[in-house]
A and B are shown apart, each in its own frame.
Chain A
Amino acid sequence: MNLHKLTSRLCPKATQKFRHLHIQSSGQQLEAVAVETASAEANPLSVFRTSERDPTYHSEGHSGQYYTLPPTHIQKLFPYGLPPRFQLQIKTFNEGCVMVRPPALELISYLKRADYSKPPLRYVLYGDIGTGKTMSLCHALHYCYSQGWLIVHVPDAHLWVKNCKELLPSSSRPSRFDQPIQASQWLKNFKITNERFLSKLKTTQRYVWTKRESTEKGQPLGELIDQGVNRMKSSSDVVGAVLRELRLQAGGATEGEGAFKLAVAVDGVNALWGKTSLKKEDRTMPEELTLIHNLRKMMKNNWSGGAILTALSQTGSVFKPRSAYLPSELLGEEGFDNMEPFVPVSVSNYNEKEFESCYLYYLDRNWLQHPHSRSEEGKKELIFLSNKNPSILERLCAFL
């Protein structure tokens, strides 16, 4: 198994810091988590909720419990980042509740203990389909946001390798191709998430876009982004420039007010090294896409002062079989070599306690309307039919 090869090839700094790496060979194992229900802060009415809203203070004791995402945070941080079904659920229930689960807790604990003067560590969330990788990623990202980091969030890298309506040849390099719509969309979202940083950061070099337009050195980053949003043609290059700036400036404690930590979160990271389904006008495959190229550069750990959080995804991937869920299968040879060394975090189906709390949450929200679903028999049926898989359970309860 590639995971065993991984342990030997992990860089020695990591092994010193992280004594126990939860490497599980199959995503199906149900972990027996110690049952610690009500802590002092917990609501006396509901066992499955916790009133602790700050992910910084989430611990093992909260595992299996739901915490509410503050609405302001949802607007700023996750305008587009949450899975679409979860967004619908937020709208229906009028609140966004996320379950605290061991993989997310693990990630957060690593983030807390990491040393940010060294090159960033890469964390890869992997697991079977529908087990909660994207949600765990969002949970960890919420932690980063509440700590005041700068977030670079790519909600789904697969959207950049397929179904692009416009594919322009790049203005700067002849062999590359641009995706103006996706790039400008992403820049807009980046702006919403990281508003407070935009005025503080300055560009370090001069960027020339066309014969008449250029951004001088020392301009605030916000201007760069506006340039990209307004001028669609060069938006992909702007993205590249922004990423480069962030790489150069992250973790620079000596910059004065520009000190910040950078969190690069990419969902569906296996798209970066997979095949594209895009074609040029003359029906051949493009050699290189600007956005993908820039993202790949971000993935390399030749900068410092941040963390790279990624999650694999099979659902959006092109040309990959449904049964593939391990990093080696989804990333492919090239991807695996590029991503190595990384810290794998496995995400699996609910265990009994988590299933129980999910069930109670749905009951509490009056989501399970069918009278039979409230009985023991109904619960057994739900367990069987969904095999405690979060997404299948959610789809099942949707029509009950």
Chain B
Amino acid sequence: MAASGCRGVRSILWKYGSYGKNLFVSRSKMVPQVKCFLIFKNLAAAGPQKFTQEFIDKQVEEFEVGKRHLANMMGEDPETFTQEDIDRSIAYLFPSGLFEKRARPVMKHPEEIFPKQTAIQWDAEGRPFHFLFYTGKQSYYSLLHDVYEKILAIERHQDKMRNKGLFTSDTKQILLTGSRWLLKEEIEENLVENISVQDYMRLIQLMELLLSMPYCSLEEEFILKFRKQLEVQSSKYEIPALQYDPQGVAFSFADGRRKSAKASITLRDSGSGNITINGRNYLYYFPVLQNREQLMFPLLFVGMSGRFDIEGSVEGSGHSAQAGALRLAISRALLSFVSEGEVEKMRQAGLLTADPRIRERKKPGQEGARKKFTWKKR
């Protein structure tokens, strides 16, 4: 009885897919003898939870209404309430001390919260809608077909131009610098299905083929959908402002951090090369040669070693970390004295990157972060 009941449940699930969840509830009311472990077993076999389109639409409606309520609560205009305002209000109303930002309360559009899912791809009789359904990756193969269609269209266009005698190879080329192809993960996200590495390579090859044709500018829009713009890295750094002393000497402030050591310095353009840290000469504050080399590196790299006077204060952590923090602070302060090209060079030399390494936490059941207790065979 229980076995047949379970088989029946499974067949219903297969037919109705996402309705299975609702059916569960009804089924268990009708047949209370169905044991609990059967239900759990089928839940796991059903795969990740599926949401119907209705469900998602309902969520979107609720989100919009909730947004207006929130705006009223905060005393702002519901019409011009943006996502940033929502985030701010939620952080204010539900303050959370959790370290993991993703664990804090969040209110976002359902599109961003619920994973994208494919709708049901077959009709009531079980016939699939798409002609490529039985390939298993219908969106991917249909994309490949589209690209090939476009290639053929361009070839036809070429032939037409040749027939007319207007064929030229130097047509408008698509500008591809500063952008890259979408990654495999991003394409998977767009297609809402998994593809393998070989599939991805095939797609990129096809796109390159499309690009190699002289008249590819006809499909520029289509191609650019698959390219992502890279932002210029060096424009991300904010250059500290250059201030002037009453005497006219230029100076700038900057901060730096490394591994819980905080440093802040003043770089003066007076021209003697003295460095004072926490009131003492750097020769006596950093008796170790390595730390002094760290201080020297940004100045030597830019070539202005004897030009500046540095006054710094640093606290926390150990001597190496303090030297690293000071080095970062000096490089940042130098940004305002140096040209654009130099900024890029400094970034590539790694002078402007904050070192993200911090002390790893000790785990329970081990001596330290990585060291384990003595392993005894028996």
Bound CA–CA A128/B292 (angstroms): 18
List of B residues within 8 angstroms of A128 by Cβ? 284
Q: In the complex, are the beta carbons of B284 and A384 less than 8 A apart? A: no
Q: In the complex, are the beta carbons of B273 and A384 less than 8 A apart? A: yes
List of B residues within 8 angstroms of A383 by Cβ? 273, 305-306
List of B residues within 8 angstroms of A386 by Cβ? 283
Q: Closest chain A residue to B280 by CB distance? A: A323
A89 at the interface (CB under 8 A from B): no
List of A residues within 8 angstroms of B299 by Cβ? 384
Q: In the complex, are the beta carbons of B283 and A384 less than 8 A apart? A: no
Q: In the complex, are the beta carbons of B283 and A381 less than 8 A apart? A: no
Q: Closest chain A residue to B273 by CB distance? A: A384
Q: In the complex, are the beta carbons of B305 and A384 less than 8 A apart? A: yes
Within 8 A of A (CB), among B262-297: 273, 280-284, 289, 292-293, 296
B300 at the interface (CB under 8 A from A): yes
Min CB distance, B265 to chain A, in Å? 16
List of A residues within 8 angstroms of B305 by Cβ? 380-381, 383-384
Give the contacting residue for B293; candidates A129, A380, A385, A389; CB below 8 A: A385
Q: Closest chain B residue to A128 by CB distance? A: B284
Give the contacting residue for B281; candidates A377, A384, A385, A387; CB below 8 A: A387
List of B residues within 8 angstroms of A37 by Cβ? none
List of A residues within 8 angstroms of B292 by Cβ? 384-385
List of B residues within 8 angstroms of A98 by Cβ? none
Determine chain B's interface SS by DSSP, over half rule. Answer: helix
Q: Closest chain B residue to A129 by CB distance? A: B284
Bound CA–CA A396/B296 (angstroms): 15
List of B residues within 8 angstroms of A377 by Cβ? 300
Known: A385-B292, A385-B293. A380 touches B300 (CB 8 A): yes
List of A residues within 8 angstroms of B300 by Cβ? 377, 380-381, 384
List of B residues within 8 angstroms of A384 by Cβ? 273, 292, 296, 299-300, 305
Min CB distance, A60 to chain B, in Å? 24
A322 at the interface (CB under 8 A from B): yes
Bound CA–CA A87/B293 (angstroms): 29
A28 at the interface (CB under 8 A from B): yes
Q: In the complex, are the beta carbons of B306 and A392 less than 8 A apart? A: no
Bound CA–CA A28/B292 (angstroms): 18
Known: A380-B300, A381-B300. A392 touches B283 (CB 8 A): yes
Q: In the complex, are the beta carbons of A385 and B273 less than 8 A apart? A: no
Give the contacting residue for A322; candidates B284, B289, B293, B306; CB below 8 A: B284
Known: A380-B300, A380-B305. A385 touches B282 (CB 8 A): no
List of B residues within 8 angstroms of A28 by Cβ? 281
Within 8 A of B (CB), among A1-48: 28
Known: A28-B281, A377-B300. A385 touches B306 (CB 8 A): no
From B282, B292, B293, name the one whose CB has the most chain A CB atoms within 10 angstroms: B292
Bound CA–CA A290/B305 (angstroms): 53
The total of Cβ contacts below 8 Å across the A-B interface reads 33
A interface bracket (residues with beta carbon within 8 Å of B): 10 to 19
List of B residues within 8 angstroms of A389 by Cβ? 283
Bound CA–CA A42/B283 (angstroms): 34
Known: A377-B300, A380-B300, A380-B306. A385 touches B289 (CB 8 A): yes
List of A residues within 8 angstroms of B282 by Cβ? 387
Bound CA–CA A383/B307 (angstroms): 13
Q: Closest chain A residue to B295 by CB distance? A: A384
Min CB distance, A346 to chain B, in Å? 15
Q: Closest chain B residue to A322 by CB distance? A: B284
List of A residues within 8 angstroms of B293 by Cβ? 385
List of A residues within 8 angstroms of B296 by Cβ? 381, 384-385
Q: Closest chain B residue to A380 by CB distance? A: B305
List of A residues within 8 angstroms of B289 by Cβ? 385, 396
Q: Closest chain A residue to B279 by CB distance? A: A323
List of A residues within 8 angstroms of B280 by Cβ? 323
Bound CA–CA A323/B300 (angstroms): 28
Q: Closest chain B residue to A395 by CB distance? A: B289
Bound CA–CA A377/B296 (angstroms): 12
Bound CA–CA A392/B293 (angstroms): 14
Bound CA–CA A128/B305 (angstroms): 24
Q: Closest chain B residue to A28 by CB distance? A: B281
Q: In the complex, are the beta carbons of A387 and B283 less than 8 A apart? A: yes
Min CB distance, A323 to chain B, in Å? 7
Bound CA–CA A386/B289 (angstroms): 9
Min CB distance, B167 to chain A, in Å? 58
Bound CA–CA A386/B295 (angstroms): 12
List of B residues within 8 angstroms of A380 by Cβ? 300, 305-306
From A383, A387, A392, name the one whose CB has the most chain B CB atoms within 10 angstroms: A387
Min CB distance, A347 to chain B, in Å? 15
Bound CA–CA A322/B283 (angstroms): 12
Bound CA–CA A381/B289 (angstroms): 12
Bound CA–CA A345/B299 (angstroms): 35
Bound CA–CA A28/B273 (angstroms): 13
List of A residues within 8 angstroms of B281 by Cβ? 28, 387
Q: Closest chain B residue to A27 by CB distance? A: B281
Bound CA–CA A394/B209 (angstroms): 65
Bound CA–CA A128/B300 (angstroms): 26
Bound CA–CA A361/B192 (angstroms): 74
Within 8 A of B (CB), among A372-400: 377, 380-381, 383-387, 389, 392, 396
Bound CA–CA A80/B296 (angstroms): 38
List of B residues within 8 angstroms of A385 by Cβ? 289, 292-293, 296
Bound CA–CA A323/B289 (angstroms): 18
22 A–B contacts, CB within 8 A, in A order: A323-B284, A377-B300, A380-B300, A380-B306, A383-B273, A383-B305, A383-B306, A384-B273, A384-B292, A384-B299, A384-B300, A384-B305, A385-B289, A385-B292, A385-B293, A385-B296, A386-B283, A387-B281, A387-B282, A387-B283, A389-B283, A392-B283
Other than the known A377-B300, A381-B300, A384-B296, what 18 A-B pairs have Cβ atoms closer than 8 Å? A129-B284, A323-B280, A380-B305, A381-B296, A381-B305, A383-B273, A383-B305, A383-B306, A384-B292, A384-B299, A384-B300, A385-B292, A385-B296, A387-B281, A387-B282, A387-B283, A392-B283, A396-B289
Question: Which 10 A-B residue pairs are closest in the complex by CB-CB distance?
Answer: A387-B283, A384-B296, A380-B305, A385-B292, A384-B305, A389-B283, A28-B281, A385-B296, A381-B300, A385-B289
